[in-house]
Chains A and B, each alone.
Chain A
Amino acid sequence: MESRRTSGQGAREGATPVARWRVTLVVDPTLCDGHGVCAELFPEGVTMDHWGYPIIDGEEIPPGLGDHARRAVAACPRLALHLVEVRR
């Protein structure tokens, strides 16, 4: 799968279906320690398993929620969370 990392700024969140890239969250599981900040700041896109690690649906960030997602990325104490653009 082709992908590229994005700052999220100007990300085409909720873009029209013809857009070739979709913006989504990924977690580096080797860095994540399960602090849980992401699930608190972006509950629409991140849930927690019973061990305290984030479950990310990998779906496109819904329109209007880009700020929440960016805040979660910025607040991750382990810098384990990233916004990426994935080619459809």
Chain B
Amino acid sequence: MAASSAAHPQAPGFPRLLSALASPDSVADLETHVAHWGALPLRSARSTLLDELDASGLRGHGGAWFPVGTKWRAVGCGRARRPVVVANGAESEPASRKDEFLLTQSPHLVLDGASLAAATLNANRVVVYVPSRHVNSVRRSVQARRRARIDPVEIEVVAAPDAYLSGQESAVVHALNNGPATPTFVGMQSVRDRGVRGRPTLVQNVETLAHVAMISRYGGQWFRSVGTENSPGTMLLTITGRWAEPMVVEAPLGVPFRDLLTLSPQDTGGYWGALLGGYGGGWVSILDLLDCRLTEESARDLSSSLGAGVVVLLPRTLCPLVESARVIRYMQRQAAGQCGPCIHGLADLAAHFEGLAFNPAKFRNRFPPILQLCNLIDGRGACRHPDGVTRFVRSALVVFREEVDKHFRRGPCAAVNGPALLPCPDHHGRHQ
């Protein structure tokens, strides 16, 4: 390939991930990609990428914010069996679009990252796990790379079922082992030790792999030129409720949400607050949000999470309790139905919260039981799905406590039958 002889084009300033896109709708095909980013530096991957990843401080963008270098070392540390690399693009958070954005508009950055992981860890199987609607387009990108002989290991593209839990790490492995895409009880083990076909397995979010693709070219120090000490670099966010349509934006970590959202004081008064992180994240009040910096730690300080970069601003025209009740019911329906405390706990939580939203008079005395239920559910599933729901519920009760009181005093509000903001897709069936 002609472009492979070219030196690496200059490192982008900001934006990074989106810098190859001429316009927000354009697609970086292989030619554009190579012209913009240069050839895939596989050789240096084998020798120096792990050190560069450690130096970069890159953390996982799928929601757990785990240090990537540490994770790769755990998968790759001198094992007899060769590892499997899985690029996780399932993106089952209904309010998230950022992985889809990358996969459709900058797929080669993700595929670069997957091949770099394979080269670094000496893996001999690479799987890209994406929703079925993206399988064909990703396959076409893989074929273009095959013709250009870019990837050291053939990349498989596998469809992820449309279900909330299909992107959970052990569920991904379960699906690739020909099981249903439901979480398994890994106890204190990890898929890093025993994953696909019992082999050490790296399951890494697609955005994280795109950051890896840049680090491999420009190094860990370059990566740190944006962001904070603990949260270097940039991240993709899906912001809903701010503009007419949900938007995927790239932002430097550490910026205050105030600067990111650029709300006038008048606009600010029009929102209750925002859901941060996704449906396993938590609500924060609008004033707390504006002061919050874009890091996982700052979000945790507000009992929330940056998760996979979901931000949903909730306007005051909607009822926060109704929106929350719908999400809790969705999360209850999306549970894998494997663990007793989750099955019963989420069903009770959803019913109680619907009572709070729709029939508060009857549920006047049920407020403490909701918190007791949360305490009873925490940590008792095979995965963290129930824990995410309890975080969501607790945050709703704190951030919207005045609304809860108002509902108790005056009954359900006028917004009960209004339009809904938070998407609760009706996935066909639970988990096939």
Question: Which A residues contact B (CB, under 8 angstroms)?
Answer: 1-3, 26, 28-34, 49, 51-53, 55, 82, 84, 86
Which of B112-120, B147-155, B339-347 lies on the face that meets chain A? B339-347
Known interface pairs A28-B382, A49-B376. Does A33 touch B188 (Cβ–Cβ under 8 Å)? no
Query: What chain A residues lie within 8 Å of B376 (beta carbons)?
Result: 49, 55
**Chain B: minimal CB distance from A24 (Å):** 10
Asked whether, in the complex, the Cβ of B344 is within 8 Å of the Cβ of A51, the reply is yes
Interface size on B, residues (CB 8 A): 17
Asked whether, in the complex, the Cβ of A31 is within 8 Å of the Cβ of B185, the reply is yes
By secondary structure, the A interface counts as loop
By secondary structure, the B interface counts as loop
Asked whether, in the complex, the Cβ of A29 is within 8 Å of the Cβ of B341, the reply is yes
CA distance A34 to B339 in the complex (A): 10
Known interface pairs A29-B380, A29-B381, A30-B382. Does A53 touch B341 (Cβ–Cβ under 8 Å)? yes
Query: What chain A residues lie within 8 Å of B342 (beta carbons)?
Result: 29
Query: What chain B residues lie within 8 Å of A29 (beta carbons)?
Result: 185, 338-342, 380-382
CA distance A29 to B376 in the complex (A): 14
B24 within 8 A of A: no
CA distance A55 to B341 in the complex (A): 10
Closest to B380 in A: A29
Asked whether, in the complex, the Cβ of B340 is within 8 Å of the Cβ of A51, the reply is yes
**Chain A: minimal CB distance from B66 (Å):** 14
Interfacial residues of chain B within 300-345, with CB under 8 A of chain A in the complex: 338-342, 344-345
Query: What chain B residues lie within 8 Å of A82 (beta carbons)?
Result: 187
Closest to A30 in B: B338
CA distance A32 to B381 in the complex (A): 11
Partner of A33, one of B184, B185, B340, B380: B340
Instruction: Name 12 A/B residue pairs within 8 A (Cβ), A-sorted.
Output: A2-B188, A26-B187, A28-B185, A29-B340, A30-B339, A31-B185, A32-B340, A49-B341, A53-B341, A53-B344, A53-B380, A84-B188
Query: What chain A residues lie within 8 Å of B382 (beta carbons)?
Result: 28-30
CA distance A53 to B189 in the complex (A): 23
Closest to A1 in B: B188
Known interface pairs A28-B382, A49-B376. Does A86 touch B341 (Cβ–Cβ under 8 Å)? no
